[in-house]
Amino acid sequence: MSKPTILTVDDDPMVSAAISRDLRNRYGDDYLIVRANSGAQALAVLTKLALRNQPVALIAADQRMPEMTGIEMLEQAQTHAPGAKYLLLTAYADTDVAIKAINDIGLDYYLLKPWDPPEDRLFPVIDDLLDDWRQANPDHTSDVRVIGNRWSDRSHEVKTFLARNYVPYHWYDVERDPEAQRLTGLAEATPGDLPLVLLPEGDTLRSPSTLDLAGALGLRTRAEQPLYDVCIVGGGPAGLAAAVYAASEGLSTVIVEREAPGGQAGQSASIENYLGFPRGLSGSDLTQRAVAQVSRFGAEMVLARPVVGFENRGPVHAVLFEGAGEIEARALIVATGVSYRRLLAPRLEEFTGRGVYYGVSASDASQCEGDDVYLVGGANSAGQAALNLARYAKRVVLLVRGSTLEDTMSRYLIDKIVSMPNIQVRCRSEVVGCRGEGHLEALTLTDRDSGRVEEVETSWLFVFVGASPRTDWLGPDVMRDDKGFVVTGQDLLLRDAWRLPRAPFALESSVPGVFAAGDVRLDSMKRVASAVGEGAMSVYLVHRYLAMV
């Protein structure tokens, strides 16, 4: 890949020279810094770069330029550099038009002038934008290669694991891609060996388990210490927030995640109501930032290890891994979140991973290009998924059991869905059956009011229905409601489930020293911001608990 370009656009020669100097001093080793003195000149530069296939990482444009404003120039720049990050340099009086540009042209950030000192006001903003650009535009020369069948559940599991753990990979469909067939022949692989995972270094993996795959990729799958101050089970927003606060405050901390960090929120294409991000951010973005913080403060993260049991051993608590192994800690935070409930319709389970998916990843969305896609659910997660799928699919049909979206989905999402010409919302509809040979080929739908039944052809069904907590592993000592949500705090007293003289802490379960945070807890808000808050709060309560024992 050629050295990526950072383009600055400002009609004031002194300002243009100053920002170019600052950027060159900071980023010149890794980026080509180019100046333009007008919008027209900037577009000419972008045209040349596009013809040379030279990547553009960032365009920083002044708003108040004669003949063409910064926003007008950035809008046209989308044709020349669609993947670039857009930064608007503006005065306070122009903040309204800058905010409007976030929605209208996808402006990434606006920065008030002047930006002195750049170390405090300019560079942190650009660092974040460039980090995001690099994540979206990796160098693919060292990618993992995955060879498998498009409709294989194991292939889907491998691709999902790689994507959610931010491991770049290239997918080869063995039925469509001659290169896949060539590589399969070279590996002397049988159908039972698929999916094949070809690593840049190391042996070829044949239909690997996620644990074997994680180990081959160098991801941590074992804890380094026999005893920790706090063990956090679950790597969603609540668990990651707890790990950041615990480790930053000096507690020896380990976080255990059975799949990948981020939880359900990590798969969201866009979280638009999270404080401090006016343009919104993807779940992947939020997760990567959180994981970096966890690592920075020294917390351990153990991946691909499902927790199947819990034991209370006097002053310590033990979590037991599937197969073998355990971790002991003086305090335990349960942040396992929830999973989507399974749809109960004939043959539907047969096609899970073969056209029927619970949740959706970016790679799933891109594979639906040109197809009709059906999606079940009426909450925010379903709305965000529908908008993401609509970028690729010919048509997205949103099936909702209720009479209206207004009862379950945020207004801003409803407005976006209504404005998309290729999204159709069908209320009072549900899936009652399906058919296919080897993979999903058709769904049977029913209208809940009229009873009318119809069959529709599709190979894609994504399900976003309800919330099922992952708490079976906790055993009988940790009190849960009839749906599996962990009972905490004052609710324990109301149910006569607390036996110590002191009152339980707000997020404490029926077992002293075991806390619950986020979606897994009874009566939690089921929002990313509240999960992060509860994760932070749980660490405060852990400190109070440890001071007593």
The pTM of the full predicted model, rounded to 2 decimals, is 0.81
3-state class (DSSP) for residue 199: coil
Tokens at 268, concatenated: 């969201």
3-state class (DSSP) for residue 74: helix
Q: Tell me the Cα Rg of the chain.
A: 26
- Nearest Cα neighbor of 512 from 503, 522, 524 is 503
Q: Is residue 444 a contact partner of residue 455, using CB atoms and an 8 Å limit?
A: yes
- Nearest Cα neighbor of 542 from 494, 509, 497, 495 is 509
Instruction: pLDDT tens for the chain, 549 residues: list them.
Output: 468 999 999 999 998 999 999 999 999 999 999 999 999 999 999 998 887 778 999 999 999 998 899 999 999 999 889 889 999 999 877 888 888 888 888 899 999 888 888 899 899 999 999 998 988 887 655 678 999 998 999 999 999 899 888 888 889 999 889 989 988 988 889 999 999 999 887 789 999 999 999 999 999 999 999 999 999 999 999 999 999 999 999 999 999 999 889 988 887 777 888 888 888 888 888 999 999 999 999 999 999 999 999 999 989 999 999 989 999 999 999 999 998 889 989 999 999 999 999 988 766 788 899 999 999 999 988 999 999 999 999 999 999 999 999 989 999 899 999 999 999 999 999 999 999 999 999 999 999 999 999 999 999 999 999 778 989 999 999 999 999 999 999 999 999 999 999 999 999 999 999 999 999 999 998 889 999 999 999 999 999 999 998
Q: Walk me through the domains of the chain, giving residue ranges and CATH numbers.
A: 5-136 (3.40.50.2300), 140-216 (3.40.30.10), 227-339+468-546 (3.50.50.60), 349-463 (3.50.50.60)
Residue 115 sits at the vertex; the CA angle it makes with 109 and 117, to the nearest 5 degrees, is 130
